[in-house]
Structure 1
Amino acid sequence: MRSLLFVDDHPIYRDAVRRTLELEIEDLSVATAENCSATLALLAAHEVDLCLSDYRLPDGDGLSLLKEVRARYPLIAVGLLCADLSPALAEGAASLGAVVCLSKDKTSADLVAAIRIAFSGGRVYDSVGAASDGTTLSLRRREILIYASQGLLDKQICELLGVSESTIRAHWGRIFEQLQVGNRTEAVTRALRQRLI
């Protein structure tokens, strides 16, 4: 089972994120903490795969916390989810090797897709994802590309995402159009080359 620790000082938002991720992502356990000290105490006692933090915390800031987490636990992936995401924060997260850097204005579906991408070995940044023609691949399409890059067939991707094969085919059509390619292999190759996945 995969595990995620979400750090945010707003209890209603924190609980909503926990419930959404546990409901939508199979085999995911989500723990929560309200500040930096609670996070470090929890990490000392429990194994966690990904630590996702807000930036503004009562006893510090998310980047400083994630830096401390990386120093103490280098195998834990880290990410930032905050209301006031700026290029400077995104740069700071990237310098720490964060796998997720998102604004809180994302929908629940976008957040779920981003976490799935992170657990599949990808990185998701709000400022990343523009194709060469200036269009932007949605998180869902990037998620499909990541699964395809792992060798999964459309039927397997459907089961993982809980959608129909016709929905996946529609996404592939748009992916081909956006990346200006003719098939799945070319789409995955171009997405990898352009660092979209």
Structure 2
Amino acid sequence: MTPGPEVLGEQQGTGSETTAAIRILIADDHRLFREGLKALISVTPGLQVVAEAQDGQEAVLMAERHSPDVIIMDIQMPVQSGLEASRHILARSPQIGILVVSMFDDDDNVFAAMQAGARGYLLKGSAPDELLRAVQAVALGEALFAPSIARRLIHYFSRPTRLPPTLLPELTEREREILSHIAQGETNPQVARKLDLSEKTVRNHVTSIFSKLQVSSRAEAVLRAREAGL
């Protein structure tokens, strides 16, 4: 039996009183995943799906329109990433709990999600009861992470303190590294070989860089990098 997700923080409320259903917005670009979550939540007392979004921009609009208690947020989505959407949403409605449910378990995405204000991080493929527990915990103001993510966080914060990066802070450390290679005129295959990554992973990072910097070409991205002193 796999261990349940780790809860960081104290539970708020006794749970003995009758409370309104937790209102949930599902933001994910995969329709089958959204439908599966809806089916799971529909048979769970105390939870209610009030809206869906298939990209980050739509998530921002749905959050503003429906004021959910919890948003189940994917990271990689078209139009606007889940991380960018989270920042926009929490800037206007800091009381909303963001629970990231993603297929990515690398440090860059985990810490970027935390920086964006997410209260929890689970991996797609987590057991249904783990997901439901995470939704309830995040609604109560707790921070909850999958066991593997929690161990990574503990290891990271047990290391000596290091200064946060100041150049292009909206990018992750890996994205800044890839952008620096792009600024040297390297192609995606060249970057992939140098960093020991797949070309698909590099392409995904480049797409994320373009989205965060709000540029549409490598030349514009390079210009932004040089202006920032990267």
TM-score over 0.5 for the pair: yes
Residue 74 of structure 2 corresponds to which residue in structure 1?
54
Q: 1:81 touches 1:101 (CA, 8 Å); kept in 2?
A: yes
Residue 68 of structure 1 corresponds to which residue in structure 2?
88
**Which residue, out of 139, 145, 152, partners 1:119?**
139
Once structures 1 and 2 are overlaid, which stretch shifts more, 113-122 or 12-21?
A: 113-122
Question: Amino acid of the residue matched to residue 5 of structure 1?
Answer: L
In the TM superposition, residue 117 of structure 1 has moved relative to its aligned partner by 2.2
CA distance in 2, matches of 1:88, 1:117: 24
Residue 109 of structure 1 corresponds to which residue in structure 2?
129
3-state SS, counterpart of residue 72 of structure 2: strand
CA distance in 2, matches of 1:129, 1:84: 15
Q: 1:90 touches 1:101 (CA, 8 Å); kept in 2?
A: yes
CA distance in 1, matches of 2:102, 2:134: 14
> Is residue 79 of structure 1 aligned with residue 91 of structure 2?
no
Q: Which runs of 5+ in 2 are unaligned?
A: 1-20, 155-230
CA distance in 1, matches of 2:39, 2:151: 27
In the TM superposition, residue 129 of structure 1 has moved relative to its aligned partner by 6.2
In the TM superposition, residue 95 of structure 1 has moved relative to its aligned partner by 2.0
> Is residue 28 of structure 1 aligned with residue 31 of structure 2?
no
Offset from partner CA, 1:129-150 (integer Å, 9 cap, x none)? 69x9xxxxxxxxxxxxxxxxxx
- Under a length normalisation based on structure 1, what TM-score does the superposition of the two structures give? 0.60
**Which residue, out of 128, 134, 147, partners 2:150?**
128
Larger Rg: 2
CA distance in 2, matches of 1:77, 1:116: 10
User: Which protein has greater RCO, CA pairs closer than 8 Å, 6+ apart?
Assistant: 2
- Under a length normalisation based on structure 2, what TM-score does the superposition of the two structures give? 0.52
Offset from partner CA, 1:45-103 (integer Å, 9 cap, x none)? 21211122111101121111111111122221112111122212111122233211111
3-state SS, counterpart of residue 112 of structure 1: helix
Equivalent residue pairs, number: 130
Question: Amino acid of the residue matched to residue 28 of structure 2?
Answer: D
Offset from partner CA, 1:98-118 (integer Å, 9 cap, x none)? 211111021212211221222
3-state SS, counterpart of residue 56 of structure 1: coil
CA distance in 1, matches of 2:41, 2:151: 22
CA distance in 2, matches of 1:111, 1:2: 14
Q: Which runs of 5+ in 1 are unaligned?
A: 133-197
